[in-house]
Every structure is written in structure tokens, then in C-alpha cells.
């Protein structure tokens, strides 16, 4: 990645990178070694010029007349996303969604679920793949002696802000928030909200407005 990557890149470009990576992984699994932006356009649904522009934010990577080397581009995109690193993750709220998210994380290379917290005595002491569910009262002390990069909030709405405060003062770099609340966090902490309903309601809109051509990615 050259110095271009240090410039501010539009969030919509960043949102497209995981899709590029996913497609490149799929191409690799099919033994495809190189691809043109035109072919990549057909697979991703983004225009070839969009793809070139997006990748140019980080230095380009393609060669005129050759296209992109699939393996190299996959690595580069992963590197841009920070997927060449390991992240320690703590999850707060081991209810229905928390359990699903924790299970999902078990298979995510690079995201190491190191602790789970809840307030429910019936859940405290249970385990998921060797990770024990601890009493939420222990969050502060845990974070004093353990480094956590990412905190996941899957508590109910009422506990979400106090949980975020605990995570921020405990030194996490980012919060993956599932609670339906606009959390307030210091500017040093990256906040990523996930709302399944946003996606569902977007689906409902496009069912009722059949013009898929205008559907943004």
C-alpha cells in the first residue's frame, strides 16, 4: 500500500472492500489467478471504473493489459481492511443474539473471542467453546489486566450505554454495537452499529419499488 492510502478514503469505498475480498476469495477457490476489472465488475455488480477508482485510493494494484493478480489483490484488500492482524474481542450480553454472534465469531480467523460477560446468574459460568461467561461486574477488572481491541454489545438497550462506557474506559479501540441505541463514545473509539432491520426494511422498499437497477450496494 503506498502513501495514497493515508489520505481520507470515502466510507462507501471502505464498505465495498469486504465484497471485493469475498469475490477474490471465491475466485481463488476456483483456481483463477488473474482478473480484469471488467470481469470483476460482472461478479461484484460494481462498474469497472468504480472498481479501478476504489482500488486507486490505495495504490491501484492492477496492470494495464494484465488486470489484477487475484491472490495479491486478495492479500492487499485484506491488509487494507486490517485482516492481517489479530484482534482480541469481548462480548457483553450473552442472550439470543449474543450467543449467535459468539458462535459466528468462533469461525472468524483473526478475531479472538477472549471473554463473554452477562448479568444473568443462569448464564454466568456456562461456556462457549472454552470461553467462560463471566459476571458483568468483572468487566472493569478484566480489562485492566487483559487487552481487548473490540467490544461487542448485545445487551438490551437500557444497558448499552453503560456497557459502552465500561468498554471505552477499559481501552477498547472499537465497538460493534447491536443494541438499538445511538451510543456516545470518545472520538478515539470506532463505533460500528449493526441493524438487521435496516437491511430488512431496505428489502421491503425494493420489493415495493421493483427498480433494482437503482439499488445501491
Residues in the site for ligand NAI, rule: CB under 6 A?
Answer: 92-98, 117-120, 123, 136, 154-157, 159, 163, 178-180, 194-197
User: How far apart are CB 163 and ligand NAI at their closest, in Å?
Assistant: 6
Q: Which is nearer to ligand NAI, 48 or 97 (CB)?
A: 97
Instruction: Work out whether strand 150-153 and strand 174-177 pair parallel, antiparallel, or are unpaired.
Output: parallel
User: How far apart are CB 153 and ligand NAI at their closest, in Å?
Assistant: 8
CB-nearest residue to ligand NAI: 95
User: How far apart are CB 16 and ligand NAI at their closest, in Å?
Assistant: 21
Q: Which is nearer to ligand NAI, 4 or 157 (CB)?
A: 157
Question: For residues 3 and 17, what is the distance between their CA atoms, to the nearest angstrom?
Answer: 18
Question: For residues 147 and 151, what is the distance between their CA atoms, to the nearest angstrom?
Answer: 11
Question: For residues 201 and 209, what is the distance between their CA atoms, to the nearest angstrom?
Answer: 12
Q: Which is nearer to ligand NAI, 83 or 133 (CB)?
A: 133
User: How far apart are CB 7 and ligand NAI at their closest, in Å?
Assistant: 32
Q: Are 201 and 185 in contact (CB under 8 A)?
A: no
Q: Which is nearer to ligand NAI, 70 or 131 (CB)?
A: 131
Residue 8 is given by DSSP the state -
Pick from 129, 123, 62: nearest CA to 92: 123
Q: Which is nearer to ligand NAI, 37 or 163 (CB)?
A: 163
Beta bridge partners of 117: 92, 134
User: How far apart are CB 141 and ligand NAI at their closest, in Å?
Assistant: 14
Question: For residues 70 and 76, what is the distance between their CA atoms, to the nearest angstrom?
Answer: 10
Amino acid at each position: 500500500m503506498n502513501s495514497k492510502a493515508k489520505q481520507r478514503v470515502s466510507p462507501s469505498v471502505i464498505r465495498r472492500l469486504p465484497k471485493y475480498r469475498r469475490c477474490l476469495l471465491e475466485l481463488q477457490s476456483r483456481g483463477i489467478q488473474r482478473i480484469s476489472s471488467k470481469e470483476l465488475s460482472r461478479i461484484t455488480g460494481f462498474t469497472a471504473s468504480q472498481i479501478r477508482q476504489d482500488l486507486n485510493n490505495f495504490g491501484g494494484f492492477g496492470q494495464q493489459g494484465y488486470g489484477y493478480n487475484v491472490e495479491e489483490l486478495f492479500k492487499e484488500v485484506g491488509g487494507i481492511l486490517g485482516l492481517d492482524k489479530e484482534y482480541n474481542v469481548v462480548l457483553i450480553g450473552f442472550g439470543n443474539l449474543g450467543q449467535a454472534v459468539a458462535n459466528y465469531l468462533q469461525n472468524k480467523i483473526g478475531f479472538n473471542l477472549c471473554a463473554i460477560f452477562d448479568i444473568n446468574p443462569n448464564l454466568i459460568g456456562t461456556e462457549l467453546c472454552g470461553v467462560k461467561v463471566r459476571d458483568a461486574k468483572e468487566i472493569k477488572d478484566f480489562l485492566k489486566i487483559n487487552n481487548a481491541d473490540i467490544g461487542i454489545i448485545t445487551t438490551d438497550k437500557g444497558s448499552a450505554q453503560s456497557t459502552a462506557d465500561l468498554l471505552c474506559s477499559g481501552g477498547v479501540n472499537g465497538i460493534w454495537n447491536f443494541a438499538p441505541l445511538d451510543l456516545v463514545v470518545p472520538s478515539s473509539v470506532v463505533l460500528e452499529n449493526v441493524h438487521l432491520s435496516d437491511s430488512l426494511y431496505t428489502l421491503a422498499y425494493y420489493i415495493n419499488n421493483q427498480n433494482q437497477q437503482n439499488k445501491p450496494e
